[in-house]
Amino acid sequence: MSVVSSRHFLQIPGPTNVPDRVLHAIARPTIDHRGPEFARLFLDVQEGLRDVLRTEGDVVVYPSSGTGAWEAALVNTLSPGDRVLMYETGHFAALWSELAGRLGFVPEVLPGDWRSGADPGAIERRLLADREHEIKAVAVVHNETSTGVTTAVPEIRAALDRAGHPALLLVDTISSLGSLDYRHDEWGVDVTVGCSQKGLMLPPGIGLNAVGPRARRAAERARAPRGYWDWEPLLEAGRKGFSPYTPPTNLLFGLREALAMLREEGLDAVVARHDRHAEATRAAVRAWGLELLCREGAPATRFSSALTAVLMPDGHDADRFREIVLARFDMSLGAGLSRLAGRVFRIGHLGAFNDLSLLGALGGVEAGLRSAGVPHRSGGATAAIAALADVDGAGAAHVA
């Protein structure tokens, strides 16, 4: 029997729940996008994004999905036939490489097991073998949304440096920006790809690129066709607070509010909150006796703090389990994608989210496991309670 609750639990790893403050901001009357009020709005948004990206450089904002921001990163820095080294950490890394091929570039994909991050050693070895420097860019996904695996980007940057290779470093932060620790400038990233509907707590519709100086120089030489995605007109207009084409005005109202919320909480506190919720979720999964998809011991591999991917026991279908959870408890869990379809369910715990929301979600998962007849031990929600109750909001243990 389908039950509709007062609040739908949207526990997919994006799009995420949109806070009331952001919804109210989006609901403002639309303004003239050529007027002074818009200029102030757009300049505020650019400055706030620089803070979240931890960059002093340029940020390009598009009316687009994350896929559009992927394309922008490629076509602004590369020429037809250029080779791009990519690492297959999961479904979205595979999609990005497919897009590169359709755009006329040559993606060279290092295979992965979909349970680990990008291996810096494998990247370094391949770059050392590329004595002619045919590889023009290395593209990695910081937080692979399909697997719950985070790649340590500083270790990838170090691999490029050890190899002495001039390739650009392009990083997808679509499911990590505004949730996980990320430092565009400090980590030596050339282009960061992001979007609005995950850690930035908005509906879909805004894509972005953070652009470093090496990427700007590469864009001057790149010959890939680009019109809508061309950085230069957007950067030129953006410095004055405008866009060369119609911007997503009301989403920008919401983004300014979301950035204010992140600033009020403090980025370090935001990251710590996501880390706490992720650890509590993993405590629940371990207590249930289920297996985490991520293999943290692999090189440059970290458990994601934005989502947790859980393997179903043999003989049980994850999609059927998700259907039961939706019907019985009005909660949406993330599906397994492509090769993981039916084998994995994903618990999103990013964006506008607090301890009680997590405990409600994990209680729903545990009840769903029981309703669906999935073999498990009880006590996962209790383990999460213990993990959260033993640590305060700043991450320090309580002292009796």
Residue 1: predicted pLDDT: 52
Task: Tell me which of 7 and 40 has the higher pLDDT.
Answer: 40
139 neighbors 160 (Cβ within 8 angstroms): no
**Of residues 289, 283, 273, the one with CA closest to residue 308:** 283
3-class DSSP state of 332: strand
318 neighbors 345 (Cβ within 8 angstroms): yes
Q: pTM higher than 0.85 for the full model?
A: yes
3-class DSSP state of 163: helix
Residue 390: predicted pLDDT: 80
Residue 28: predicted pLDDT: 97
Question: Is the pLDDT at 396 greater than 50, yes or no?
Answer: no
Residue 4: predicted pLDDT: 63
- Radius of gyration from C-alpha coordinates of the chain: 21
Per-residue pLDDT tens digits for 355-379: 999 999 999 999 999 999 999 999 9
Residue 387: predicted pLDDT: 96
| Mean pLDDT (whole number) for 138-150 | 98
> Could you tell me the pLDDT band of residue 395, with boundaries at 50, 70 and 90?
very low
Mean pLDDT of all residues belonging to the chain = 96
Residue 139: predicted pLDDT: 98
| Mean pLDDT (whole number) for 218-235 | 98
CB atoms within 10 A of CB 114: 24
Task: Tell me which of 390 and 130 has the higher pLDDT.
Answer: 130
Distance between CA 284 and CA 350 in Å, rounded?
Answer: 17
Tokens of 153: 């980007």
What residues does each domain of the chain span?
A: 9-16+267-389, 20-263
Burial class (CB in 10 A: 0-12, 13-18, 19+), 295: middle
Name residue 237's amino acid.
Answer: A
Tokens of 79: 């020429």
| Mean pLDDT (whole number) for 255-279 | 98
How large a percentage of the chain has pLDDT more than 90?
Answer: 95
**Of residues 167, 166, 113, 123, the one with CA closest to residue 144:** 113
> Could you tell me the pLDDT band of residue 398, with boundaries at 50, 70 and 90?
very low
Per-residue pLDDT tens digits for 312-346: 999 999 999 999 999 999 999 999 999 999 999 99
User: Within its chain, how far is the Cα of 311 from the centroid?
Assistant: 21
Residue 393: predicted pLDDT: 46
Residue 7: predicted pLDDT: 84
Residue 391: predicted pLDDT: 61
Which fold, 9-16+267-389? Aspartate Aminotransferase, domain 1 (3.90.1150)
Distance between CA 138 and CA 109 in Å, rounded?
Answer: 10
Sheet arrangement for strand 9-11 = 9-11, 331-335, 344-348, 307-311, 291-292
> Could you tell me the pLDDT band of residue 400, with boundaries at 50, 70 and 90?
very low
Per-residue pLDDT tens digits for 73-106: 999 999 999 999 999 999 999 999 999 999 999 9
| Mean pLDDT (whole number) for 284-311 | 97
Residue 394: predicted pLDDT: 44
Residue 2: predicted pLDDT: 56
Which fold, 20-263? Aspartate Aminotransferase; domain 2 (3.40.640)
| Mean pLDDT (whole number) for 67-78 | 98
**Of residues 387, 357, 322, 380, the one with CA closest to residue 16:** 357
